[in-house]
Structure formats: C-alpha cells, structure tokens
Amino acid sequence: MNVADSEVVVSILTGQGYEHTDDITEARLILINTCSIRENAEQRIRGRLKSIGHLKRKDNSIMIGLIGCMAERLKEKVLEQEHIVDMVIGPDAYRALPSLIAEAESGHKAVNVLLSREETYAGISPVRMDKNGVTSFVSIMRGCNNMCAYCVVPYVRGAERSRDPESVLNEVNDLWVKGYREVTLLGQNVDSYRWEHEGNRTGFPELLERVALINPRLRVRFSTSHPKDLSDELLKTISKRTNICRHIHLPVQSGSSRILKLMNREYTREWYIVRINAIRSIIPGCAVSTDIIAGFCSETEEDHNETLSLIEWAGFDFAYMFKYSERPGTKAARRYKDDIPEEIKTRRLNEIISLQNKISGRSKKMDVGRVFEVLIEGYSKRSKDNLSGRTSQNKVVVFPDDGHKKGEYVNVSVERCTSATLIGKINQSL
C-alpha cells in the first residue's frame, strides 16, 4: 500500500516539475513514506533518519519530509523528536505537498495530518516505481472501518472509502495498454469495497469481474480479504474467470476463538474453517496465505496450540508471521495488558515459523512434476541466464532463459524446488 501511495506522491510532484531519483545523494527533497503497524517498523524509520542526517548537515537546503502512517500517528511530535525533519504529512494530505514544500522552504516547518472522508486520489495517475513494467498495484480503497483491537490502521489511515470504479477501470486499462500484464487491487478490506452512485451500487465481486474483463491475458490479484466478509459470491466470480489468480490472502491472526474475540475480529475459528472449505470447494487449486500474530494479550499455551493446529489443518501456502507489538491508542493498548513476556512471544513465533516453513515446503514439493502457466516478470535475481515469474497461485518459478521476454506467458514444468522457489523448464509458449 505504501508503494502505491509513493507512486501517487511521485505523480503529484512530477506534475510540479520535480524529477524522481533513486540516488539519495542527488536528492534536493527526501520524502520517507512510513509504516506504523508494529513498533519495529517505526524503529527502522528512526534509524533511516539518523543515517541521512549527514546529508542535511552538509547542505541545510535539502528538505526532508516524513510522510504516511507514522507522520499521522505522531503529528507535530515528530518535529520535537527528529530535528532533521522539515515536513510531517499524513496519508490523506498528499495533494497539499506542493504548498507544504513551499512553506518548509520558506523556513517554517510544515505539518498537515488531516484525515479525509473522501480522498482516494482518484484522477491522479500514479507514476510506476516497480521496475519490471509487468506487474502493478492499483489502490481501490483507503482506510479501514474495522476495529481490530491490536491495529493502528483505522487511526492512521482514517475511515474506509472506496474509489470510483470507473477511475479504477481507467487506470487498469491504461496499465494494460502500457504493457502491464498483472494488477493487484489493494485495500485494507477489499470485501467491503462499495461504491454508490445515482442508485447504482458496485461491490467488490462486480469490480473484480469488470477488471478481469478488460482482457483475458491480464492477470488480476487482490489483497487483503477479511474472513468475516469473504463471500461465496466473490469466490464464484474468481472461479468463473481464469485470469483472476488462484490465490487468496486471508489473515487469520489466531487459531483461538477466545483470542479472536479479544482481537475484535468478528469471526471464530470454526467460521474461518468454513471459509477455507468454501475456497477449496468453489476454487479447486486455490492457494491460501495468511497473517498470524503470536503472543497477543493473555494468550495461553492452549490458545497458541490452537493457532498451531489451525496452521496445520489449513495447510497455508505462505504466511506473514509477527510478534504482537502494542500500538499506542489502540483498544488493546487501552484495555488489555501486554502481558506475554518477550521470550515467550519469541518462542511461540519461532514455533509458528518452523511449522509454517515445513508446510510451505510441503506445498512446493507437491508442485514438482506439474505444469504451471507462468507470467514472466524478468530475469531471476541470481542469474541473467534464468527467467523468473509467478504461477497463478503466487509461487515464484525460475527457469532457463530460452529467449522469451518479460510480460509473456509460458508453460513451465516444475522439476524441483528450494525453500522459496520452484525450479523448472519451459514446456511450450502460450
């Protein structure tokens, strides 16, 4: 989401005559787009600010802006804590960037952390920073109306709002014309996408289908789904359109219904199991990935074991796994005690990671001997002799370059796998 936001920021500034550079030592303006989701995300930003302090000390006319979620959370406090920062700009204030930069250049520290009920940056054509020219993010909504007890997102990104479907379709169309072959539609909770205009209502399944209909050779992904809202209607739409990728990211967070209730997730372990079963029966061969938090407030060994058993049962293809990190201002910070000692959190997280690694490995081994349609994204990271792409299920596949170009589809038969990658060779071009 921050990559997509940075692309909006670059677009706004390019319109003002700025040029984007990858080389920080060349920059006259440095904007750091920030995340607040866990404390270590913020610590990393503080480290980054320290490491660029010398640029500002060498040339005081260089402007430094802290933008995004951490700016929104800390507001003016950033200026007291981080002296090299000239601007503090929240995620809904990017249209005001030119005037905020002008203010900072005139010697006044500039702050705009107003959240908006309407801003979706529709009409701003993001300048793509992903270098492959094949895959791209498209933001379809902003903010979040769920109140998961641990989560800072509703506070730093504001209320949920959906973007006009026509502007989404125009953006995707434009990407297709420019040669992109895969889009990922982004929202904190895409299942609650809703646009109403003159009595017409568009929900997520309809939007997804309209995007998929732009061209059958355009792959469509989306993230993130919420288990409480994932509908059979959506699953049926995916199964109907082969260019909607066979992968659903469905964060479970915990396998214990008691913890899920404390987390305010609004579903139980049993409900989650029913949703996974629905995915498996409506979309055979669909990959499922998840997010898991270890050591939430009051989590017992029994709760933790329920998380492990759910991971085992679900057989996730992939997972993002975290230790619980208390975020100031959230319901959990206000009402519950962060009472799981650090070493227990670490041990539980390690148990979760090692189980998931085993299961991810198993899922890759099951792909050996099978043939997958792969969209080529470029050379493999390791060697220019190999190409790399992903299957519809979002697994990375590496195979020898036989002259095919990025953006093309090929059939690859998988011969072996490492812990992160499938390795194979091209069967035939499509």
Could you tell me whether strands 409-417 and 371-379 are parallel, antiparallel, or unpaired per DSSP bridges?
antiparallel
Residue 292 or 359: the one with the smaller Cβ distance to ligand 5AD is 292
In the block, residue with structure tokens 């035939």: 428
Other C-beta atoms lying within 10 Å of the C-beta of residue 150: 25
- Position among 68, 91, 251, 424 found at the interface with ligand 5AD (CB under 6 A): 251
Please give the Cα distance from 17 to 231 (Å, whole number).
45
Which token pair is 216?
């059958």
- Position among 12, 30, 148, 260 found at the interface with ligand SF4 (CB under 6 A): 148
Please give the Cα distance from 421 to 361 (Å, whole number).
10
Secondary structure class of 5 (helix, strand, coil): helix
151 counts as binding ligand SF4 under rule CB under 6 A = yes
Closest among 367, 400, 361 to 382, alpha carbons compared: 400
- Name the closest residue to ligand 5AD (Cβ): 291
144 counts as binding ligand SF4 under rule CB under 6 A = yes
Distances (CA, A) of 370 to 99, 317, 373, 422: 56, 16, 10, 11
Residue 11 or 264: the one with the smaller Cβ distance to ligand SF4 is 264
Rounded to a whole number of angstroms, the minimum distance from the CB of residue 238 to ligand SF4 is: 20
Residue 307 or 380: the one with the smaller Cβ distance to ligand SF4 is 307
Which residues from 142-171 bind ligand 5AD, rule CB under 6 A? 150-151
Please give the Cα distance from 281 to 287 (Å, whole number).
12
Please give the Cα distance from 411 to 425 (Å, whole number).
8
Q: Is the dihedral of CA 309, 314, 318, 324 positive or negative?
A: negative
Residue 35 or 214: the one with the smaller Cβ distance to ligand SF4 is 35
Residue 325 or 394: the one with the smaller Cβ distance to ligand 5AD is 325
319 counts as binding ligand 5AD under rule CB under 6 A = no
- 188 binds, options ligand 5AD, ligand SF4, none, Cβ within 5 to 8 A by partner type: ligand SF4
- Position among 33, 132, 167, 253 found at the interface with ligand 5AD (CB under 6 A): 253
Rounded to a whole number of angstroms, the minimum distance from the CB of residue 38 to ligand 5AD is: 5
Other C-beta atoms lying within 10 Å of the C-beta of residue 185: 22
Which residues from 155-214 bind ligand SF4, rule CB under 6 A? 188-189
CA dihedral of residues 395, 400, 404, 409 (deg, nearest 10): -20
235 counts as binding ligand 5AD under rule CB under 6 A = no
DSSP 8-state symbol, 244:
B
340 counts as binding ligand 5AD under rule CB under 6 A = no
266 counts as binding ligand 5AD under rule CB under 6 A = no
Q: For residue 227, which amino acid is it?
A: P
The site map against ligand 5AD for 268-307 (x = CB under 6 A) is: -----------------------x-x--------------
Task: With CB under 6 A as the rule, give the number of residues binding ligand 5AD.
Answer: 12
- 170 binds, options ligand 5AD, ligand SF4, none, Cβ within 5 to 8 A by partner type: none
394 counts as binding ligand 5AD under rule CB under 6 A = no
Rounded to a whole number of angstroms, the minimum distance from the CB of residue 325 to ligand 5AD is: 4
CA angle 391-392-393, nearest 5°? 85
226 counts as binding ligand SF4 under rule CB under 6 A = yes
Contact between 35 and 27 under an 8 Å Cβ cutoff? The reply is no
